[in-house]
């Protein structure tokens, strides 16, 4: 079923630890850097809450989902659309006329 204590190598040799991975070369880190650059430019202030939330999640779990990639691509694409689309404001509705 299993090994007895006598069968296990119980010497004083340390366990081999994997070499630490340089985070700067990882995909999730580079994705976070892209988000930081987007926020630093000030052009994406309208989406800062979403971008900051994605950044926080990616940094916490050190992985990127396809949904997060798609959201950042969509935000970047919205910025590249025509100026008329970006500058349009929503005035809302008021009661009683204007």
Structure tokens at 88: 């349009």
Positive or negative, the CA dihedral 57, 59, 62, 67 is: positive
CA 87 to CA 71: how far, in whole Å?
21
Domain map (residue ranges) of the chain: 23-81
Span 12-64, pLDDT tens digits: 766 666 655 677 788 999 999 999 999 998 899 999 999 999 999 999 999 99
- This prediction's pTM: 0.61
Spatial CB neighbours of 26, under 8 Å, sequence gap ≥ 6? 62
34 class by beta-carbon count within 10 Å (0-12 exposed, 13-18 middle, 19+ buried): middle
CA 50 to CA 45: how far, in whole Å?
10
């Amino acid at each position: 079923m299993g090994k007895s204590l006598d069968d296990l190598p119980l010497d004083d040799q340390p366990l081999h630890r994997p070499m630490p991975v340089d985070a700067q070369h990882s995909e999730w880190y580079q994705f976070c850097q892209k988000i930081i650059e987007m926020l630093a430019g000030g052009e994406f202030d309208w989406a800062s809450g979403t971008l900051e939330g994605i950044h926080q999640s990616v940094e916490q779990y050190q992985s990127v989902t396809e949904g997060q990639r798609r959201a950042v691509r969509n935000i970047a694409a919205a910025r590249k659309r025509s100026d008329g689309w970006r500058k349009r404001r929503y005035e809302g509705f008021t009661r009683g006329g204007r």
